[in-house]
Amino acid sequence: MSLFDIFTKKAGRDYSSEPGVNNPKRVMPYGDILGDGALQMSFTLPVAPSPEAKEGAKRYIEKLGLKDVLIAHMEGIGNNLSYFVVYGHAKHAFDITKVKVPKADYEKMNLDEVVEFARKNIKRKITIVGATTGTDAHTVGLDAIMNMKGYMGDFGLERYDCFKTINLRSQVSHEELLARAVRLNADVILVSKVVSQRDKHIEELKVLGAALAKEKGLKKSLIKIVGGPRLNHAQALKVGFDAGFGHGTLPSEVASFIVQEYARRNVS
């Protein structure tokens, strides 16, 4: 029995129906006490720092429905701009059992398991072409997945001897990506998108997804993957890709999806 259980039994109080206490149907933010609804947030207002700006920020957060609002920090960050850090308490809870999130269909495996799966089920190297496309010059995410060093101690796709990887790097045009994929007879296209101001990443992926669908030289079984800090699986499906991976994805997760999806499409 936990100390929490002992305390609640001694108090003679039934917490089981209260928010955040072993109750997945009433989940609330947690600060000092389970279910207290405590939130921390930060934002910028187009006003210079002043007592009036601080009070205005407090009143604005109260209009959003938060109680016991505390402006913990106010700082000027330029002409008529103020940055705020605020604490408050929300009253709303949600039912986590009703939250469903579309996810790529695969079983997580480590490097050795992926290689063994490929050896038993595929018996050939899978060709993967990766790039950041359009105006995007960022390669951090792409390299984290493809580079041999990998990410967070998880080796990248170059380390897997069941893959042949070609990293085209940054600002690759859609035409060049498609041409290289056709020339290399690619099994997988892996696109990384970081630039996301005004949904630029979504616009460019829509164009690329349409081009991939029309390109006759690509394999019909081509696996199309996109990743980025502001992308998820549902968005990837909407723009014509087969899977989307967001922030914190490990290379082994992408590798697991690739070999399992390849086997589903190509191994009878």
| Rg of the chain taking only CA atoms, in angstroms | 24
pLDDT grade, residue 268 (50/70/90)?
low
Cβ–Cβ < 8 Å for 177, 192: no
- In order of their start, the domains of the chain are 3-89 (3.30.30.60), 111-266 (3.40.50.280)
- Whether residue 149 lies in the annotated active site: yes
Q: Which of 9, 103, 120, 149 is catalytic?
A: 149
**Helical pair 200-214 and 174-183, crossing angle rounded to 10 deg:** 40
Question: Does residue 105 surpass a pLDDT of 80?
Answer: yes
24 or 233, which is more confident?
Answer: 233
Residue 73 has pLDDT above 80, yes or no: yes
What gap in Å lies between CA 75 and CA 50, rounded to an integer?
A: 9
Residue in this structure with the two tokens 């934002």, named with its chain if needed: 43
pLDDT at position 135, please? 81
Is the confidence at residue 173, as pLDDT, over 90? yes
- Reported as a single tens digit per residue, the pLDDT across 119-153 is 999 989 999 999 999 888 889 999 999 999 999 99
What pLDDT, on the 0 to 100 scale, is given for residue 23?
A: 84
* Stated pTM of the model: 0.78
